[in-house]
Structure 1
Amino acid sequence: MISVLCVDDEEELCAISSVFLTRKGFSVTTCQSGKEALDLLSKTSFDVIVSDYQMPVMNGIELLSEVRKRYGEIPFVLFTGKINDDVVIRAIEQNADYYIRKDYDPPAVFADLAFTIEKAFDRYKIEKSLHDSEEKYRFLVTHALEPILIVDLQGTLIFANNAAGKMIEVKDITDILGRNVMEFISPESREEVLRDFSEVAGGHDSYVAEYEALTAPGRPITLESIGKLIQYENKPAILLSLRDITDRKQIEKSLRKASRQINLMNSITRHDILNKVTILLGALEIAEMECNDPAILHYFNILNEATKAIQKQIEFTRLYQDLGIQEPAWLSPVSIIREMQVPEGLTLDLALEDIIIFADPMLEKVFHNLLDNSIRHGETVSHIRVSGAKAADGYVITWEDNGIGIRDEEKETIFKRGHGKNTGLGLFLVREILALTGITITETAAEGKGARFEITVPNWLYSKVTDNSNGNDTDTKLQ
């Protein structure tokens, strides 16, 4: 039941109001002055206040002002016979919820009043619920471990949580409110930030971006950011969830440097070994020509085959050492496959939609090795089909051929180093390249029905390529 406090200096009108509103299902308390109303409010809470305007000592607007100061946003209905522009303006200024005129048919007036009380109370409940919810989420966001900022559509900082203050290196988070977020972006990232800011403001949001930024004292840091268009205090704004990845990037940089140094040493060593292998193969060939003893020639053949195997394995290390040296990138499987040279007599049906996947730059080796595997081991292969489909856990790229297929007991071992009729390194290299960014490959064909390799790309590692409105660029944001 909605509790109503009716304030009117005319006792008879208070009594009539009480009867009408009680019959409508309200709990009604009456009083005859603003002072008496404030005394009652100090002792009892009410859901809605209905007050006359013209009262001695304290009129309805003055009572409204005091109620707002002391008790906040209690629904307040001005119920008066005097409604002119001045009264309306003052009522609005003091945040009155509604005003109703008394001077016409009483049954209609009180029916209107009852309806207005219910409407005012319902609106108050909704607004209070929203306010309580906002307060709850504000508390959670304020104390979240991840830095969170809210900026308006001009880039002005209007909210920052404690973690953001720590990341930006300010003691008092209010010191940065009102400043533009671009003040904390390094020059090399400003163009990218402006472009992404425009994207998010236009509703294309929730993708991961990386920027170079500056703390308040000027220390450079690297950030990951996800922007989301929201409503904040009834206005459009952008919520930014941030992560300081400076340490991670430095570690990655150090690892790449160390890997390059190791690779340089490997390149020099491999070059020297291959030179020695060439000398060895040449000497063996000369020795074979000079030797007429079949028993000795047999051992020369063994030495020759072993030396060639060493040569192939040393060549493979050149490919394997390059894995992970370069940063992963957004690459197009369709573009890679279209550029491959397919032998005569073999057809390749490309039914894969135009997507990009986040993979090691050696991704082209994956498809070249799959083609080589079909040709070498399929024996009867005349047709290859490459297709793709969305799956629950990501996107699946399928490579199928019509060759002799793979025996069930070999479906996993084919990816192990050394397995196979040639070097035994092709499919091993394929799996290693894909695994660098979390992409997997399995063989799923029924035995004797050709080979079928399924490459599963997790949801966050692929995106469809869509044309922008100018028709010249492509959109490479995560979906």
Structure 2
Amino acid sequence: MTFNADPVTFINLAFCVGVVALSLWWYGKTKSRTPLFIGLAFGLFGISHTFILFGLNRQYEQIYILVRMAAYAIVALGLFFIALDVIHRKKAEDDLLHANEELRAANDQLRRSAAELKNNLEELNRKREELAESEKKFRSIFNSLIDLYFQTDINGTILMASPSLKLLSGWEPEELIGTNVVALYPDEKQRRALVDELKRNGRVQDYLVRLKNRAGYYINASVNCHIIRDSDGNPVLIEGTIRDVTEKKAAEDALSLAQKKLNLLNTVTFQDIQNAVFSLNGYLELQQEEIPGEVQKDYVTRERELVGTISASLNFAALYQTMGQNPPGWQNVHHAFLYGISHLNLPDITRTISLDGLEIYADPMLENIFFTLAENVVTYAKGATEISLTYREDEDGLTISFADNGPAIPPAMKEKIFERHYERKRGAGLFLAREILSLTGITIHETGGPHSGARFDLRVKKGGYRFAGNKDSLHG
């Protein structure tokens, strides 16, 4: 074995050793198959160069050839795997580019979606502000409603009520929500009739019912409501408004009653005047005959009386016709009394008034009634030094008493003084007083005892009076 110091072969060997070393370093960093193939191939090339340096290539030619062939085979195999890696990398790059394009498209879509989302968010905020403003306006309207707005389920359970419930009934909305509306109906049949009408027509308008307020008094109410149905057409809610028409109905009833009374008065007055005119014509016919002077004077006296009767009938009709011209309303009893007696001279009569801010629902002519009562004291209650105006309340209503300490009214005269044709002409004022009070359901009677002077009691039903000031108001 001889050493062949060929510089080219020596350089090739050194190069192969360097490549093997680099391949090992490369594999250590990447764990890739490529540096293994390169290192193994150049390792075999290095072995073949060693054969040449030591002259073994001739002696072991077959081994030398196998080593070189193995090296080339490994290079070919390495190139094959490198080609596969390149193909795979190319595919991966293509996939990456495609994915990048998709990502870019997705990013663009995301930007557009973000812009749309921003616009939607701005629109949502604007709608939310509009909704808040709308809700604020609705709440303002809801809280300022005079009529009662309500919602109930189909069985009558109260779900919602506006604050005007307090004014209408005395209850706070929170007290009634969750309870059944049937408790507010004095007559449950009215509730059933209302629901039946609703089921038939789907709505009711200006439907009159009678309700009960917190104090137990009755309210005349007008109901406007309709049924709300679900998507399947099944009734689920009742929604509507309730208006307190107690005063309106009382005014209508008073006007109707006044019209009936005026029609009756017209008939009676016409008959009275017709009778007086017939009698007057008779006396005038008699006067045309030759009769003694004293008899003629008697005829003239009677004629004057008949003319006075006609005049009185006409004056009374004029006064009576003013009754009911103006609608009734809440009248402060103390004020009406003071206005009434302000037209009279009562220097020697003391007054005791205890009314606690009492108001009654009556015709505006209420002060005329107190004028009539006080005038009767001045005119007929000789020796009276005191009048009083007081009230007392019981479970059925309230009584206002006007009393004096003058002579008592005999039992036989207690009702007669309210008749229109009271023989001594003392009852016309009291007749009118009773008629005026009756317009709003108030009665008046003389109830004085035999030794306690005259006393006139005005009886007011529940719901027809209330108290201003410290006492709770009573509406009905």
Query: For the superposition of Structure 1 and Structure 2, which TM-score range results when normalised by the shorter chain?
Result: 0.3 to 0.5
Please identify which structure carries the higher strand content: 1
Bigger Rg over Cα: 2
Please identify which structure carries the higher helix content: 2
Please report the TM-score for the alignment, with normalisation by the length of structure 2: 0.44
Please report the TM-score for the alignment, with normalisation by the length of structure 1: 0.44
Which of 1 and 2 has higher RCO (CA within 8 Å, sep 6+)? 2
